[in-house]
Structures are given as C-alpha cells and as structure tokens.
Amino acid sequence: MNRAFNRKKDKTWMHTPDALAKHYIPYNAKFLGSTEVEAPKGTEVVKDAVRKLKFQRHIKKSEGQKIPKVELQISIYGVKILEPKTKDVQHNCQLHRISFCADDKTDKRIFTFICKDSESNKHLCYVFDSEKCAEEITLTIGQAFDLAYKKFLESGGKDVETRKQIGGLQKRIQELETENCELKKQLQDLEEQLMIAHVPPAGSISIKPQSTDIFDMVPFSPVTPLISTLASNGCPPPPPTTLPPDIRKDLFGAEPFDPFTCGAADFPPDIQSKLDEMQRQRWRGSKWD
C-alpha cells in the first residue's frame, strides 16, 4: 500500500481542472470508519489503521450490523463525506489538512487518507471500501492536490488563508445553529411548563368574580339574592350589624319610628285621615299664597 503524490510534469489526470476547481467529483463507497494514528504519513501507519478497522467491522458484521454507505465529494478544497440520501455532511476534510493518501495493492477495494482534525489537532486515518473505484478515487484526490498547489503558487499563498477563514466561519455558523436549536428547545419546555401551571386540577370549581361599579360595590337587583362577595383587596365584607331585641325598642317599649321604612298602611285609620287633611290644607294655603 503506497501511493505518494509526486507532481510530475507529464502526469495525465482523469478529470478536467474545472471539474475539481469549480465543482466536485462524486464517488460512492462504504465507510469502515476512522481511527487516530501516531504519524501524519507512512505506509505502515495506514496498514495498522486498516487492520484495526477491518477487525472492528468484522465483529460488528457478526452482530448483524452493515457497513454504512457514504458519498465522497472531491474538489480542490477537500474531501466531504456525506450521507447518500439526506446529503448531510458527516466529515469535511479540508485538503490542506490531508497529509497522506493511498490505496491497498493487496486489497484493491480499500483506500485511505490521513487528515489532521481541526478541533483536536489529532491525525485521523479514514478507511473506505470501494469495489471498483478505490484506485480511481486515490488518483482523483492526487489531482485535487496538484491543482490546489498550482493555485497556491499563482495566488502567492493568499488563497489558502482565505479558505482557512471561510472554514473558521463555517464552523462558527454550525456552532451558532446548534446553540439556536438548544435555545428553542429550552423555550418550548418553558412554555409547556407555563401551560401546565395555568391548567386547574380536575374536579376543581372556578369562581367567576362579580362585576362591581366605580365605588367597588355590587349593583343591586331585587331578583338577585344577597351573596357575600370579596372586595377588591381580597378581604370578605364585614357582617351586617344587627341590634339586640331590647336595644331596638325605645323607653316605652315601642319600636323606633323610621319614616323611610314606614308606609301608609303602617298608621292607624284616624291618624292617617288627620295626616291627609293636614296635607290638603297645606296644599290649599300654598295655592292661595
């Protein structure tokens, strides 16, 4: 297993430069996984990584697990590993972080590359299984390296710095999107808790407060029974004052006279007739005056 990308002047590549510079070349493969390696390059380094991942896959296969399929998108900016159906990016290996790439001469389906992780700065070896395109994929990555190096020389190194800045911004955008999703989830949980807090328990009776006027008094209605209601401050009104039976009578044992509560039927006939006569005389006197 050895394939070093020596930049030869007479090298004939498989794809046009625009296909890798302006677009990407897609490939389908099975992803055996990735594992940390001690060195950024070397044939023996990737051999050990392939043995390790093959053994792990053999155990998982015996347990009924299948090797996941992925889509590789190769360009001068790097190698993207995507889920074939949803197109979700699982890994984005920038080209300037890839230090070694090779295909296995003993097992022509296996190819691998080593990439330095942007977060942990560890060297990870990615191993793939492609039944027909292992060597072609390795050559395509080599062509992407060649075009990227030429572009680097033409730009004087500015293009690499720009790609680094873009990569940093993309990483920050992904972090903000993850944080935004977490905040939305927390907000939804709080709204659900508030809804639960405002729902009355089963079997409880909700009492609707009565409407009051500007003096905080309940309007009187002769057909409405007198019901004790709460005042605006939440306190119950004081009980009605009732006088004892002995206090409600005067010194002669008679009920106190209240002209506001007495009607015409409350007077004896002789007194009532005299009152009527006095009222008519008073009316005649005021008329002649």
100 and 164 fall within a common domain: no
From residue 186, alpha-carbon distances to 183, 191, 193, 195, 216 in Å are 5, 9, 11, 14, 43
Whether residue 288 is contained in a domain is answered as: no
Per-10-residue mean pLDDT of the chain, 289 residues long, equals 42 83 93 93 92 91 90 94 93 92 88 92 94 90 90 71 69 81 87 79 59 64 52 58 57 60 56 72 62
* pTM reported for the whole predicted model: 0.53
124 and 39 fall within a common domain: yes
Last residue of a domain, one of 155, 185, 214: 155
Last residue of a domain, one of 95, 129, 155: 155
143 and 162 fall within a common domain: no
Residue 256, burial from CB neighbour count under 10 angstroms (0-12, 13-18, 19+): exposed
180 and 91 fall within a common domain: no
- Which residue type is seen at 133? C
Computed over its alpha carbons, how large is the radius of gyration of the chain?
48
Whether residue 202 is contained in a domain is answered as: no
Residue 87, pLDDT score: 92
53 and 163 fall within a common domain: no
Crossing angle of helices 158-198 and 134-155, in 10° steps, is: 110
Q: What share of the chain is helix, strand, coil (3-state, %, to 5)?
A: 40, 20, 45
72 and 170 fall within a common domain: no
Host domain of residue 68: 17-155
Strand, helix or coil at 9? coil
Whether residue 64 is contained in a domain is answered as: yes
From residue 62, alpha-carbon distances to 125, 127, 166, 213 in Å are 24, 20, 43, 82
From residue 50, alpha-carbon distances to 65, 171, 233 in Å are 19, 29, 79
Per DSSP, helices labelled H in the chain are 17-21, 43-62, 134-155, 158-198, 269-288
Whether residue 256 is contained in a domain is answered as: no
From residue 131, alpha-carbon distances to 107, 134, 248 in Å are 10, 7, 113
61 and 184 fall within a common domain: no
Residue 8, pLDDT score: 40
The residues facing 129 across adjacent strands are 30, 110
Last residue of a domain, one of 105, 124, 155: 155
Phi, psi of 67 (to 5 degrees): -75, 125
Whether residue 2 is contained in a domain is answered as: no
Whether residue 136 is contained in a domain is answered as: yes
Q: Please tell me what DSSP assigns to residue 264.
A: G
As for how many domains the chain has, the answer is: 2
131 and 163 fall within a common domain: no
Whether residue 254 is contained in a domain is answered as: no
Residue 139, burial from CB neighbour count under 10 angstroms (0-12, 13-18, 19+): buried
56 and 186 fall within a common domain: no
Residue 2, pLDDT score: 43
Residue 169, pLDDT score: 72
Whether residue 228 is contained in a domain is answered as: no
145 and 22 fall within a common domain: yes
- Contact present, 102 and 111 (Cβ < 8 Å): yes
34 and 138 fall within a common domain: yes
Rounded CA-CA distance 188/186 in Å is 5
104 and 67 fall within a common domain: yes
Rounded CA-CA distance 194/189 in Å is 9
Q: Which CATH number do you get for residue 123?
A: 2.30.29.30
- Which residue type is seen at 108? K
Count CB-CB contacts under 10 A for residue 254.
8
